[in-house]
Structure 1
Amino acid sequence: MKALFVALSLLLWTGAAVAQERVPLTIETAAGVRHIFQVEVADTDQERGQGLMYRQEMAPDHGMLFVFDRPSRITMWMKNTPLPLDMLFIGVDGRIVDIHQRTVPFSLDTIASGRRALYVLEVNGGTADRLKLGVGDRVSGAGVGG
């Protein structure tokens, strides 16, 4: 009975994490092509700490935007994250300053921005290549670049 309770609690907890509200975020490439994502915003310590942990899948146009208190060299990791991700580090001005592609699921290695950033956008691994996203591309929406 205790095992059933734990399993149901975990299911409800992970379901609640997945149900977070999404807001639109646009990336405009150097070529002028716009890509719109629906993102969950993680702007508290608790939300940033949870991130995309335990997510088994994510729609191609979805992601999570991590918002930090001040610009710095941000470090991330893939603890308890089964999805390979692309991490786009975004500066105060809303431009992408660094990209780490196809991160290794469950890795405890740190992934650091090469330059100061205020935001990190996590999307499915391979998205940056597929959409030809690059350093210098402009990000707007969800409080970025405004």
Structure 2
Amino acid sequence: MKLRAVTVVLALLITNHSPALAATCHPDRALFLGRGKPVEVPVEIADSGEKRARGLMFRRDLPPGQGMLFIYESPQPVSFWMRNTLIALDMIFIDARGEVRHVHPMARPLDETAIPGAAPDDPAPERLMVLEVPGGDAARLGIHPGMVLSHPRLPQDAALAPCD
């Protein structure tokens, strides 16, 4: 049993530090890694207070397979709403290591109900990034909790899939 656990850990370390990741790690792309095929999403970046506050408000469409990546200065509890957002969205909440911690599917347009980035019992509720994609895209693309984001704006020394 111990040998199997060591083998799994070594395999993850080798996979997570693969030089192939460096070739596909770009600021305008969110690359999700998991057990299956990697998922790459072209993204707009919202990394200032003003850009995060506006987000995707007033947009009439967001092409399938594209999204907006909200990036915070430091990990923190986050909550979103859909005020003035005219299209259904999936929200993918990501911690400072790049792990997808929560996916909120099909947020309703114009709904002002708070959408928390973590479940009440989540032992680590802070999020560094949130990716919004068209409603239904998270499931269609296969993005789910436990996947890992590889992106240059993650702290590379703590990232589960660093860009090298």
Class of the TM-score when normalised by the shorter of the 2 chains: 0.7 to 0.9
> Aligned residue for 1:79?
83
The answer to whether residue 33 in structure 2 is matched with residue 23 in structure 1 is no
Q: How many residue pairs align between the two structures? A: 124
Kindly indicate whether the alpha-carbon contact (under 8 Å) linking 2:102 and 2:117 is maintained by their aligned counterparts in 1.
yes
TM-score by length of 2: 0.71
Q: Deviation digits for residues 79-103 of structure 1, max 9, x if unmatched? A: 1101100000000001101110000
TM-score by length of 1: 0.79
- 5+ residue gaps, structure 2, are 1-26, 119-124, 157-164
The answer to whether residue 113 in structure 2 is matched with residue 103 in structure 1 is no
Kindly indicate whether the alpha-carbon contact (under 8 Å) linking 2:39 and 2:143 is maintained by their aligned counterparts in 1.
no
What amino acid maps onto 1:28 in structure 2?
L
What amino acid maps onto 2:63 in structure 1?
A
1:117-132 residue pairs with structure 2 within 5 A? 117-132=127-142
> Aligned residue for 1:18?
none
Aligned Cα root-mean-square deviation (Å): 1.4
> Aligned residue for 1:89?
93
Shift of 1:68: 1.0
Q: Distance in 2 between matches of 1:91 and 1:69?
A: 12
Out of 14, 37, 46, the residue aligned to residue 33 of structure 1 is 37
> Could you say which structure has the higher strand fraction?
1
Runs of 4+ in 1 over 6 A off after TM superposition: none
What amino acid maps onto 2:31 in structure 1?
T
Q: Distance in 2 between matches of 1:35 and 1:28?
A: 7
Q: Distance in 2 between matches of 1:141 and 1:125?
A: 22
What amino acid maps onto 1:101 in structure 2?
P
> Aligned residue for 2:150?
140
